[in-house]
A and B are shown apart, each in its own frame.
Chain A
């Protein structure tokens, strides 16, 4: 039995390693390509070991950009993406936690209809309402701005629902104890609900940050100036299909750089993230 246990574990590990290889190989390939000379890649003779152009390529990518028509340093694109992703994540959490608080803890006219209205917007993703949204943003003169990039994406039914579910598990006695302790609605929210929602907020932040970071369609529509473009748009624009030669090392370096912030967020917040998703004990 012991041998079989060992054997099974061996098989399980092999399967896991194969899985990791399948996921990691393209990433590795992108990294290797970013350290090679463009001519080598263009010839189709790329080695599977990193080349010697690491510093040169990454310096050019971050601070200079491609030598083609869209000369925009990737450093700036990353800043745009970061600002957009942070605004979306923080904004979504702030708005939805407040609306969930209102829906769960206050009795006001049309409370349930309003809740259902929020719920129904789940059926209307950005793609569906893209024309009216664009029109509104354009009328408000928010094209080519951080506000235009993030504001329309901030309202979130999903996050509101998540916080609503969480608030409903908070014992009523906590609210009652707060009332007896002289804490009004604002104090209860700030002193008790927010600290209790910490892990939930962290989990949501991770998910929403990645969601914001990976936005493609919306930034594509509303940014026209090169200095406002996000990294996801930037990559696409670097790949020229017509006259010029695509600078693959720079494209690959950009791809690697684009992966880093989400990875970083997950790694840093992993502990809180997992707790926020699985924690049931209050």
Chain B
């Protein structure tokens, strides 16, 4: 039972590279916090700093009311699940889970109770005598979880624990992790680059980019009100369509609002409808259909705008300039090459400042 508070945490490597540029995050007791961002954004470094595997060069990390900056990982009362599981290859499943407890001098009877309880929860009871190499990826993953659970720590740390699993297993384990965390009610910090994992798991979502926090908040709030164009295009798949407001075509439609100051307009693919009507205050775009992806429940339409758009601030998952994705129900599918008109209501528009760093209310 513990809060985790990061106060202007910094990490500068000896070579002068600044990996973490001052991060403030407050994870409440029992909450599930997800750090998400593209590779190299510093999310794993930040997690490893909480674990004590990386030194902190500035700021404070506070776990359960105790500043842990100078404390050894073993004494921080945390447990970590690694991306490649990091199971001890020469130890049985039982010993893998029991090792940390033995090092703490716990009585063998108590260890047995805890390991067997964890094994029961994780459905590993029949495999306690096996070695990690005799287990499948999903089972290894569960052993790694078991090793964390038996410690009954104040905080669980997950470093991309699902990225080595296949897609189907990943979804199943994702649900498992969430259920387990709810039941144990242990504060957790989870690192991932997968925005879907982030959205589904998080109580608090921290979107990171370039060693800084872009936005912190409830996942749905972040989805609905992304603070920057980076967040807008990182959260949500397919990504939000971002376009400059400079072309006359768009500027005229936005006239009469504070949108005049906006440099970038964002519209999510799912907020478009194919229609010839222009909703009052909304935006309509004529498109030529370039490609179609039908995935059953929905159809993605890739259309190009008539006018070439100028490039908008670089973001992950960015579309080529002038291309727009529209997400429509699976029953519909315009023909390739067709000219269509798509429109989005005023309430669905996202407006950002010229540099994409500031959200403006429409």
Binding site for B on A (CB under 8 A): 171, 173-174, 176-177, 179-183, 187, 191-192, 195-196, 198, 281-282
Contact = CB atoms under 8 A, between A and B. Distances in A.
Nearest to B148: A180
A183 B51 CA distance: 15
Contacts of A282: 89
A15 to B, nearest CB: 39
Interface residues of B, number: 23
A174 B86 contact: yes
B84 A171 contact: yes
13 contacts: A173-B86, A174-B88, A176-B73, A176-B80, A176-B86, A180-B53, A181-B74, A181-B103, A182-B74, A182-B104, A183-B103, A196-B90, A281-B133
B333 to A, nearest CB: 47
Contacts, number: 57
Given A173-B82, A191-B88, A195-B90, 18 more contacts: A171-B84, A173-B84, A173-B86, A174-B86, A176-B53, A177-B80, A177-B147, A179-B73, A179-B74, A180-B52, A180-B53, A180-B73, A180-B74, A180-B78, A180-B79, A196-B89, A196-B90, A282-B89
Nearest to B72: A179
B82 A176 contact: yes
Contacts of A171: 84, 86
A191 B99 CA distance: 9
B100 interface: yes
B99 A181 contact: yes
A207 to B, nearest CB: 23
B90 A177 contact: no
Interface in B59-98: 72-74, 78-80, 82-84, 86-90
Contact of A180 (B83, B84, B88, B100): B100
Contacts of B147: 177, 181
Interface centre among A174, A182, A196, A282 (most CB of B within 10 A): A182
A193 B7 CA distance: 37
A176 B138 CA distance: 21
A175 B287 CA distance: 56
A282 B79 CA distance: 23
Contacts of A198: 90
A179 B87 CA distance: 13
Contacts of B90: 192, 195-196, 198
Contacts of A176: 51, 53, 73, 80, 82, 86
Contacts of B103: 181-183, 187
A191 B103 CA distance: 11
A22 to B, nearest CB: 42
Contacts of A191: 88, 99
Contacts of A281: 133
A88 B9 CA distance: 52
Nearest to A195: B90
Contacts of B79: 180
A183 B99 CA distance: 9
Q: What are the nearest 8 A-B pairs in CB distance?
A: A181-B100, A173-B86, A182-B74, A182-B103, A177-B86, A195-B90, A173-B82, A180-B73
B226 to A, nearest CB: 34
A186 B87 CA distance: 19
B89 A177 contact: no
Interface string B100-129: 100110000000000000000000000000
Contacts of B100: 180-182
A195 B133 CA distance: 15
B86 A179 contact: no
